[in-house]
Amino acid sequence: MKACLALALAGLLWAAPPAPAAAQGGDSDYVADIVDLPLMEGLREVADAGMAFDKPSGRIVEAYAHGTVDTAAVRRFYRQTLPQLGWQRLGQDQFTREGERLQIDYLGADGDLTVRYTLQPR
């Protein structure tokens, strides 16, 4: 009986997906305040540049990432990645999921690009 229980527990641990890097507390490939929003390779979150708070109607988050990437590559990355995470595209750089809206804006020039993520209730 103990062997079966140990085997079942081991199977559950093996089958469970790993937590996102942000949840593990290591160097993150995700936006800190939007735990399941990945950062494209080449982007690094700009510490202390954004803000996050909860309202009765939902959370509001503004975060920034910077890198030597170009707008077209970032746009392509999020168009391919976000639908896999349950986001639906509303417009060129707007997505929605579970009552929230994500807006992605691009500041600066290609090769020296800052990406702004704005999450708010829909």
**pLDDT of 121 over the 60 cut:** yes
The pTM of this model reads 0.75
Percent of the chain's residues with pLDDT above 70: 77
What is the number of other CB atoms lying within 10 angstroms of the CB of residue 50?
19
H/E run at residue 58: strand 58-67
**pLDDT of 18 over the 60 cut:** no
By DSSP bridging, strand 94-97 and strand 88-91 are: antiparallel
The residue extents of the domains of the chain are 2-121
Higher pLDDT, 28 or 36: 36
Q: Which two tokens stand for residue 6?
A: 């140990």
**pLDDT of 27 over the 90 cut:** no
Cα dihedral 9, 10, 12, 14, rounded to 10, equals: 170
